[in-house]
Amino acid sequence: MCDRERGWSEVPYVKTWQLIAVSAVAGLALSVAAVAAAGPWDSGQRKAERDRAASRGLTGGADHGGDRAGGLLPQAAPSAPGVLSGIGPGAPRTTGSGVAAADAGRLAEVLRPLLADPALGSVRTASVIDTATGAVLFDSGAREPMTPASTTKIATAVAALSALGPEHRIRTTVTPGAGPGEIVLVGGGDPSLTARKKSPAGSGGSLLALAADTAQALKAAGTDSVRLGYDDTLFTGPARHPIGENPNIALVTALAADEGRPDESTSGPVDRVEDPAKETARSFAALLGERGVKVTAEPAPAKAPAGAQPLATTLSTPLAGLVERMLTNSDNDIAEVLARQTALASGQPASFEGAEKAVGARLAALGVDTAGSRFADGSGLGRADRISTGLLAGLLAKAADPQRPELRPVLTGLPVAGFTGTLRGRNAGTSPAAGLVRAKTGTLTGVNSLAGTVVDPSGRLLAFAFLTANAPDPGAAEKGLDKLAAAVARAS
């Protein structure tokens, strides 16, 4: 059903046209191989992208800590000229470097027969957009809202980044309690919070670091034993997703370590702990004990006093990294938390209902057409969601806009065909889409979807979305979607 990082401020944003330039000259497949070897998140996927992208000054290269002994400086990577120049409304659909516009007629000629494949089910819609011009190159039912499955996460990502920005970090704190000798572990909704020695999400929230800092503060105040409460009240409404208990998602709570996973897994379906907040507090109590602070009783729910100053704080992975992880691995837990964070930033209750209102409002504010859409959850696990291919492709085009660098993690987080995430085994090998297509998958029973970007043979970055319903065979439907994406990759 579901398909460490340096500080974020140190990571330069790279304009979309620069990414395309290097893609066209050096070949995306080679770059993606480096991504797969380095790792999936900020130290891997994003670092590999930084290494391969030309700098803003077109001098190329990046220094990632090479040996400078003897005064030798690292040599810059070869620079590539910009493939695309900025194109405003009404400008001719060619670039200053002479790259031709994508051929809409050719796309239609290639895509229509593939879209008619019965393996895709009884309903299929499609949209392809030239991100440089905003021109719609192919449209088939593009305004028809359909069940999008996990491609919903694209909307969640755009809304969260728009509301909070890519550098935003989520706090988990420990405050004094209401009485003497009491402390409260306060959840802020950090989906990267971990009780493990090495965080699977990079430099995210760490219970180990939080316990060490808390123990230090308590001992400095002459305290070596406490009662521990935990506060997970930031989120409201039902914590259980409407689909019910399911191994693809834990309870949606403001306090959860390792997504409530009882094993060493970091993604994919697994039965979750019954009460993630309570289990997180228990883990924290054990960590305090290991650091010389005794917790005298079983942790219990408690409310942090208003205005209480934290004894210690740990911060999540920057929002950009959370978005990338969510999209690459189709992480439902991150998706639902980010939808609630969007609600909080928008003055809405941090519930399914509040998130639905907030996400819709944030997307509408970007100027995309949200008519008929519904964002009943942030993950796409539910069937009440409604999104059109036109909206999905439009959001991806927004993320490619050089004037909106805050949305760029939506593109960098997309799985790469044949190499990463949920596309690792799709359009792989000799497929013309391998390494060129980056897309979010979506799968529910009878629902198959694919939405992402591709660099076409002319060097254009195109955004596409395909939604289908009532497919008789999910495997055959996926192959049909992959053929459509590959066709966009080679058609010009």
Catalytic residues: 150, 153, 330
Residue 299 DSSP symbol? -
Q: How far from the centroid of its chain's Cα atoms is residue 9's Cα?
A: 18
Nearby residues of 254 by Cβ (< 8 Å), 6 or more positions away? 187, 188, 189, 232, 233, 234, 235, 277, 350
Unique residue bearing structure tokens 């309690």: 177
Which DSSP helix (H) or strand (E) runs through 227? strand 225-231
Contact indicator for 422, 441 with CB cutoff of 8 Å: yes
User: What does the alpha-carbon distance between residue 452 and residue 463 come to, in Å, rounded to a whole number?
Assistant: 6
What gap in Å lies between CA 443 and CA 429, rounded to an integer? 23
> How many whole angstroms separate alpha carbon 459 and alpha carbon 97?
11
User: How far apart are the C-alpha atoms of 138 and 389, rounded to whole Å?
Assistant: 11
Strand 461-469 vs strand 123-130: parallel, antiparallel, or unpaired?
A: antiparallel
With beta carbons less than 8 A apart as the criterion, state whether 485 and 437 touch: yes
Secondary structure of residue 176 in the 3-state scheme:
strand
| Dihedral over alpha carbons 379, 198, 256, 339 (to 10 degrees) | -30
The separation between the first and the last C-alpha atoms of the chain, rounded to the nearest angstrom, is: 34
Give the residue carrying structure tokens 């405003």: 88
Partner residues linked to 225 by β-bridges: 294
- Helix extents (H) in 251-318: 276-290
Rg, C-alpha atoms of the chain:
23
Instruction: Provide the greatest CA pair distance for the chain.
Output: 76
- By three-state DSSP, how is residue 186 classified? strand
433: Cβ contacts below 8 Å, ≥ 6 apart: 417, 418, 427, 454, 482, 485, 486, 489, 490
CA distance 355 to 135: 31
The rounded distance, in Å, linking the Cα atoms of 360 and 383 is 17
Q: How far is CA 269 from the centre of its chain?
A: 18
